[in-house]
Structure 1
């Protein structure tokens, strides 16, 4: 990796971060997301951070159409992970909520993913883990800010 006295260039960090994301996908692939697909999992994450949004807002956040998003939510409602409730101002408008069961599922998935990461992180020297943690906290904050600026939704950086 080449770098100037100011540190590594963003394109260099982006390349390594992309490689790390691919490795995470492999590690996390061992922690099954059944009974939901990757698209449905994304819906659950969005609902967790944007409780009570409507279908159109969710579709926009997904970059999808309302009919496709509705079908995703139908399947998630069928397994008990999503609840649809009438809006406070208009009973015709439905609001989407992560159910208690959906929340428990996400907590369990995160715990399984964290266990998969722990074995890798235990192989790193403590000083490198500290550097990684500091970098990831900064990355999460910057990414959450960019997501918030782009689509107006609230993103949670979840710093440790």
Structure 2
């Protein structure tokens, strides 16, 4: 790797790392590339820790359960943007959580066609176990970051995620209720 190429890779950071050994071209400064790499590695590690739980495999189950826990009566369509799912995928995810006994669906007393979601006792137990795993995330998955860097990283990723959710009208459901 020549100095010009190496400089392109280091334009992002002055710390030399394994990425200096490969040429990523325009991906060198692309946040999306690093998020994807991290997602793959972190998801693999998390799946191993969740293997004994009914929320293992796939994405969106845990966030859906937490949203329902804290917003009882929320609907699948209101969760979609936050879970990163389209309507058919969200329907399959909710059906799986219901089949596993983690969620229950009830008709909305005010709007007959609307189906509200509620957490079950089994769902609460699973979330207690998930919480224990996730609370160890700073040490298990992000050991290379200081507490301050971890907080900054979470804040930046949350800012980016919130902008995308907002762009796709993910908060409309809450605004309509208030």
Pick the TM interval, shorter chain: 0.5 to 0.7
Superposed CA RMSD: 3.5
2:102 touches 2:119 (CA, 8 Å); kept in 1?
yes
Give 1 or 2: higher strand fraction.
Answer: 1
Residues 112, 100 of structure 1: CA spacing in aligned structure 2 closer, same or farther, 3 A cutoff?
A: same
The reply to whether residue 35 of structure 1 matches residue 43 of structure 2 is: no
The reply to whether residue 131 of structure 1 matches residue 149 of structure 2 is: yes
1:147 touches 1:153 (CA, 8 Å); kept in 2?
yes
> Scaled by the length of structure 1, what TM-score is found?
0.65
Tell me what 1:143 maps to.
161
| Segments of 4+ moved more than 6 angstroms | none
Tell me what 1:95 maps to.
116
Tell me what 2:11 maps to.
3
Based on CA coordinates, which of the two structures has the bigger radius of gyration?
2
Residues 102, 95 of structure 1: CA spacing in aligned structure 2 closer, same or farther, 3 A cutoff?
A: same
Shift of 1:26: 2.0
> Scaled by the length of structure 2, what TM-score is found?
0.60
Shift of 1:115: 3.1
The reply to whether residue 64 of structure 1 matches residue 87 of structure 2 is: yes
Structure of greater relative contact order (alpha carbons < 8 Å, 6+ residues apart): 1
Identify unmatched segments of 5+ residues in structure 2: 1-8, 14-26, 173-178
* SS of equivalent to 1:151: coil
Shift of 1:63: 0.9
